[in-house]
Amino acid sequence: MPVTSPSIPLWRQLQSTAHVLLDVRNGRSLTQVLDDVDRTLRPGVQALAFHVMRVQGRAQALRRELARRAPPPAVDALLCTALALAADSEEAPYEAFTLVDQAVEAAKRDLSLRPSASFINACLRRFLRERERLMAATDADPVARWNHPAWWIKRLKADHPLHWEAILAANNAKAPMALRVNVARISPAHYLQMLEVAGLAAVRQGETAILLERALPVQDIPGFTDGLVSVQDAGAQLAAPLLLQGLASQRPLEVLDACAAPGGKTAHLLEQGGVRVTALDIDAQRCERIEANLQRLGLSAKVLAADAGEPASWWDGAFFDAILLDAPCTASGIVRRHPDVRWLRRESDVDQLATVQARLLNTLWPLLRPGGRLLYCTCSVFRAEGSQQIKAFVANNTHAVHLPSPGHLMPHFRAGGRTVPDNYTGDHDGFFYALLEKRPA
């Protein structure tokens, strides 16, 4: 099904999508690049760019088969954009010949690309003629088959030898739009009735999650502007209740959300009731997003632009009853929502981020009162950022007790029946959760 507006020529969308791909190849995130796209083009370009990112391994392998010598970067970006969109005939958003025609037109309409228009035309028409042979030839390349970097595939095989294929398949699927119902304002059952009245199909998952059959702009989601729901993956919705379970108190619990932006988990903690939350983020602009999200929901927290790893600059010495450490990570568990992540990350990032995570754990642990709990979580499937991190921490902290908690949750989707055994039921991203309790000295 076409994803562009009928009033905007496809060649313009392809030009812009190729520029997006080139910027991502140069190290910018897809989110940043799409923010720079003209608003009239953005919806179609975003849809095309997500598709292109999910098939980039295959597209690059096909380009190498069609042209052994790499063309200039801008030419290569346009060619790989077209190849990614045409590679799978069942998933292609347009007919193959339309894509070829419009990709060539995109080259002709750009002065810098015009000399390469015939080259792009020849490569794409050859692909159409030899599609079956070329697809079979590139199947031998794991990067083409799985559309992930070789180092990523190797690490997944080592970390999850029984399930690495299911994880990669889930990463390449489209994520649903998941909502978190604000149970302080409305029950999930009543909210589902609201959706039904609005003619929107949805299913409930877990305690507070609602999965929409069709994604919508947030302003079109019933009750969003009134604070009845927030957009949050079902797996991410486990954090707040997991941290607060069993921490009943006569007074409001003092809770630290150490890496809080954009504020989804902060808000969920407050929606649980009986807490006062201090929310930190090192980026002042991201703190503004926390404030905006809380304001929409009618909630309040102490929001500080501060480095969680430098408590001397913000901590008043009063111990916390609970700490949520949603630590910086590779984001290897949310690839289906951020398909550029796999191409932006380097293998060395895993160890570098694991060092940051260990420093934050060791720095924040002394801020927790005896008997209090710390929930360590990452949106990563790599064990260096999850189970290995916690194993090392508990081994070096005799007062830390590892309580029952989910551990590694692998990205999981409903389509096609692919599942990871013993995983959290339903459709969700990949996460790691470890709940730690501080034993009194």
Residues identified as active-site: 379
Smallest Cα–Cα separation from 290: which of 306, 272, 311, 275? Answer: 306
d(CA 83, CA 87): 6
Length of the chain (residues) = 441
What is the Cα 250 distance to its own chain's centre? 38
Q: What share of the chain is helix, strand, coil (3-state, %, to 5)?
A: 50, 15, 35
Give per-residue burial for 210-231: e unless 16+ CB within 10 Å, then b: bbbeeeeeeeebbbbeebbbbb
CB distance 164 to 184 below 8 Å: no
Measuring CA to CA, which residue among 215, 191, 219 is closest to residue 204? 191
Which one-letter amino acid corresponds to residue 239? A
C-alpha closest to that of 210 among 198, 278, 405, 24 = 198
Neighbours of 239 (CB within 10 A): 21
CA atoms within 13 A on the CB side of 367: 27
Calpha distance 221→198 (Å, rounded): 9
